[in-house]
Each structure stands twice: as C-alpha cells, then as structure tokens.
Structure 1
Amino acid sequence: MDTQHNGKRANIAKALLIALIPAISLIAALMFLIHYQKEYEIADNEYEQVADDYAKETSDIGSYIKVLAQENPGAKDSLDEKMHDATEGNLKKVDFLSLINENSDVTAWITVPFCSINYPVVQGPDNDKYLKTTYQGTANSAGAIFMDYTNNRSFNDMHTLVYGHNMKNNSMFGGLKKIRDNPEAAKEDPYFYIYLPDGHMRQYEIFSARVIHADDPCYRFFDGMDEYHRFVNECLSGSKSKWNVNSDLSSGLPIVTLSTCSGDNDRFVVHGILHAIY
C-alpha cells in the first residue's frame, strides 16, 4: 500500500513539475528581458551623456577648413555651400581632450545622420575588448563602436573597418537597419562623418550597402590600386541598391566600412568613400 501511495505522490509531483515548466520558462524569459532592457538603459544613458558633454552641435562652419580639394574634384565646391548642404544640423564640436583623458583608446567620433548614430569610436588591443564593454569601461552587452585593432588611427588606410552591435532598440549600429530596410530614403542623405583629434572632420559618401557572410573577404586590408578596384567592384556588385555616387570610385581615396550583425552568421555592411576633409 505504501509503495502504491508513494507512486501516486511521485506521479502527482511529476505532473505538477511538467505543468510548471511553461511558467518557469516564462519567468526566466521575463527576467532575461528585464536584464537586457536595463543594460540598454544604462548604455543609452552613458552614451547620451557623453554626447551631451563632449560632442555639442555647432554652426561654426568657419572653424573647419577644407583640406581635400585637388585630390577630389567632387570637393571643389564653395566651402560655405557644401558645408551647409552636407552638415546642416549635424556639425559637431568634439572635445577630444576630455574624451581621451577618460579613455586613451578613443580615436574618433562618428555620426551617421540618417541613422541617428552619434558615438565615440575606440580602438582596443584586439577586436574583443569592446564587444561587451562600453567606452567608459562598463560591462555591458551594448559594447562600444570600435575600429579594427590593425587599422591606423588616422583613417588613412585604404580600407578601415568600424564595428558596432546591432541593438534591438536601434542604438549603437542598430540604426544601420534604416539603410538596409530603406536604401532609397538613405540616398537623400548618403553621408557619414568621422571627427578626429587633429581637429579635422572627414566626410564619407556611401556607395554600397549589403548583407554578407561573417567570413566574407570584405574583412580584409590591402595596398595597391588593383586590389582597391577589385574591392570596390565587389562592394558595388553586392549592394542592395545602386547609389548615384558623386565621388570618384577609381581615385584610391580611403574607404571606411561600417559593420554590424544581421543574423547569426550574416553581417550588414555600409561602405563609404572619403569625399572631403574639413
């Protein structure tokens, strides 16, 4: 009798456990969601404060001098007219002295107006340091916007890679989804800007946007015009949309690739060629 009674108890306990599994799974999922929402909030607050403190909007066009002209025929327009068209409402005055004082890994500041991207750029000793660490050193899944550890901080390499997470709330490089999902609208403002500690702002014109595999040869560095032209052709042939580019894609001017995740093994990349330096 005791054996039979104990068996019934065991069966009841087992049934209760099975019944509770969905509830336990739901609670675990909710806790996971709350955790990541909290992380999003912490990272967003940190980067919003950094932007407010160190990358203030300015209308002082006269503080920038165009230095790239002869090398780029497309940059020979009037300084005032060009700066007004390209940077109206987006021009920044970046306090690099304070940024670098907080973190010597800071190399630049990037803005992609169409995607509402506005962040410091760092460079670590490898490409792992800032995957889950913010610019201020906080452990956070949002990480930081970082350039490849092998690239020159001057952004003068033929190809520079800049990485950022594709956050669900569109922070970090999550905003690049706007280009992926609506490339035609992005063509109305096809520029992004990189500010450097030397006081110059580099303007890049987007000429390609595409989804690639994580091991795509896009993630390579090169010297020489043959490889440069091969790379440009790869970017153009794989682009989700055809861009009407004003810059000379055969010029050999530096290219910057912005890279973010687009699924488990895919990446979404946006390629921009140096259009002007101010």
Structure 2
Amino acid sequence: MKNYKSIICVVAAVCLLGTAAFCGFRIYHYYAEVDEQTETFEEIAEMVEQAPTDETVPDDAPVSEGEDVLAKYQKLYLQNEDMVGWISIAGTTINYPVMQSRNNPNFYLKHNFEKEYSYLGTPYVQENCDIAESDNLVIYGHHIKGGKMFGALEDYKSKSFYEEHKNIQFDTLTEQEEYEIVAVFKTVAYSSEGFRYYDFVDAENEEDFNSYVGKCKELALYDTGVTAEYGDRLITLSTCEYSAQNGRLVVVAKKVG
C-alpha cells in the first residue's frame, strides 16, 4: 500500500513539474516574442524616419488613381499593400503602421506586419471603414504591458497625461493628418450594457453624428473641452481595458487643420 501511495506521489510530482515547465516555457516564449516584435516595429519606424523624401511610388503599386504614396511609406507599402496608414503619439511608444484586411476581418489582431502569427498583432482599421471617405475610422490595437502597442493609451485615464498629449498623428498613405482628442472613455464590448462605438462608421445624418459624439462625451472620464461637429472626420482608437470583462478603453479624436 505504501508503495502504491509512493507511486501516486511521484506521478503527481512529475505532472506538477511538467505543468510548471510548460507554463514557464509559454511565459518565456510570450515575452521573447514581445521583445522580438518590439524590435521589429522599431526597425520599421526607423525605416520611415530615414526614408528619402524625393522618391515616387512605382507605377505598379498605386494607392488610387491620381494619388501617390508619401515617400516615407513607399518601401513599406510595397512590402505589404494591406498598409493603409501610420499612427503616432508624441511622447509615447505608439509609432506603428496601420493595416486593413477587408476580406479577412481582424487578421492583424494576431499577425505582424509580415503577416506572420504574432501575440502583439499590428494596429488595424475595422474592415468596413473606408480610409478616404468614412466619417469615423475605428482603429484597434492590443493592450500590451509596458506601454507597447496600444497599451500606452492606458495613460489617458489621467487628465494630466491628456493635457500633455492632446494630439494624435494619423497619416494615410497619401496625406499627413493630425487629430485632436475629443473624449476618452471606458465601456464593455459585445454587451447590451455597453456602448457599441464600433458600429459608428458613417453618419446617416447630422443627428446620427451628434448622437455618437454626445455619447462619447457622456461616458468621458473627464472633460477635454473639445467637441466635434457634423462634417468633422474622426478616428476612434480601441484597446482592451481590464477592470471589466470585455472592457474597452476608447480614445476619440477629430481631424484638425
């Protein structure tokens, strides 16, 4: 009987050690990939910063008729034509290409710029948004610890941080554009109790637009003193927020200039 109990204990110990080793490997693999992908994004950002300004996009890679890709994004666009823009916020780690895969929604939630599987994913525009025409571009990014990807948006819970970081740079492939933050709020996704901000892409009319902006202001964590009017172009940044199940932290901004 004692031998039987000893065998059970040994088997349990082996299973426990195996589970611990597996969990340890998964954790190590996760952080190793975070570091690797962070370095890759830094290299991509460096390519943009160092790109010459006098190149013209090759004839075989037009964005749309009559428009040319901005010189600093040409090389990246030729590498992956799913790229639709670039987002950055001065004083934060947010400095990334923005993708869109209309025929494969949420593809970049778990894929990097090279279309390889990645925990970090790549910021991307909701599939039903038209980059050139939509009233509101919904842009998603993972909330990664250490301020990586859209994890840096967590700081916008503080009004003092907002006061020092009021603007967002979101360039399309053909235009450099600046946006001013209108509201920062928390909600829950996929729930009747939450605000379905991701449903607002094109305003049916002025009332529809004002209703969206009004709800954003109503839920806002603080008053920015900024609002948006019908005809303004919006971006809505969305990332996970962990104080509630399916929580979301959302930053809404309007185009200026």
Q: TM-score category by the smaller chain?
A: 0.7 to 0.9
CA drift of 1:38 comes to 1.1
Listed one character per residue, the Cα deviations across residues 193-225 of structure 1 (whole Å, up to 9, x for unaligned) are 111222x21111111111111123211123211
Q: Normalized against structure 2, the TM-score is what?
A: 0.83
**Partner of residue 119, structure 2:** 141
Q: Which runs of 5+ in 2 are unaligned?
A: 54-69
Listed one character per residue, the Cα deviations across residues 247-270 of structure 1 (whole Å, up to 9, x for unaligned) are x52243011100011134111110
Listed one character per residue, the Cα deviations across residues 86-145 of structure 1 (whole Å, up to 9, x for unaligned) are xxxxxxx86221111100111101101243200011101232211111012222111111
CA contact (8 A) 2:177 2:255 kept: yes
CA contact (8 A) 1:147 1:163 kept: yes
Q: Normalized against structure 1, the TM-score is what?
A: 0.77
CA contact (8 A) 2:51 2:72 kept: no
Q: How many residues align?
A: 232
Q: 2: CA distance between counterparts of 1:110 and 1:169?
A: 18
CA contact (8 A) 1:115 1:178 kept: no
| Greater RCO (CA < 8 Å, at least 6 residues apart) | 1
- 1:129/1:232 Cα in 2 relative to 1: closer, same or farther (>3 Å)? same
CA drift of 1:57 comes to 9.4
Q: 2: CA distance between counterparts of 1:115 and 1:255?
A: 21
- 1:187/1:145 Cα in 2 relative to 1: closer, same or farther (>3 Å)? same
Of residues 148, 168, 171, the one that matches 1:195 is: 171
**Partner of residue 82, structure 1:** none
Q: 2: CA distance between counterparts of 1:99 and 1:16?
A: 55
- 1:118/1:56 Cα in 2 relative to 1: closer, same or farther (>3 Å)? farther
State whether structure 2 residue 234 is matched by structure 1 residue 259.
no
**Partner of residue 61, structure 2:** none
CA drift of 1:159 comes to 1.3
Give matches, 1:1-278, under 5 Å: 7-20=1-14, 22-56=16-50, 95-124=72-101, 125-154=103-132, 156-180=133-157, 182-198=158-174, 200-215=175-190, 216-220=195-199, 221-223=201-203, 224-245=205-226, 249-263=228-242, 264-276=245-257
Q: 2: CA distance between counterparts of 1:265 and 1:196?
A: 29
Q: 1: CA distance between counterparts of 2:36 and 2:212?
A: 38
Q: Which runs of 5+ in 1 are unaligned?
A: 1-6, 61-92
After superposition, the CA RMSD in angstroms is 2.1
| One-letter amino acid of the structure 2 residue matched with residue 213 of structure 1 | V
CA contact (8 A) 1:94 1:109 kept: no
Q: 2: CA distance between counterparts of 1:254 and 1:29?
A: 45
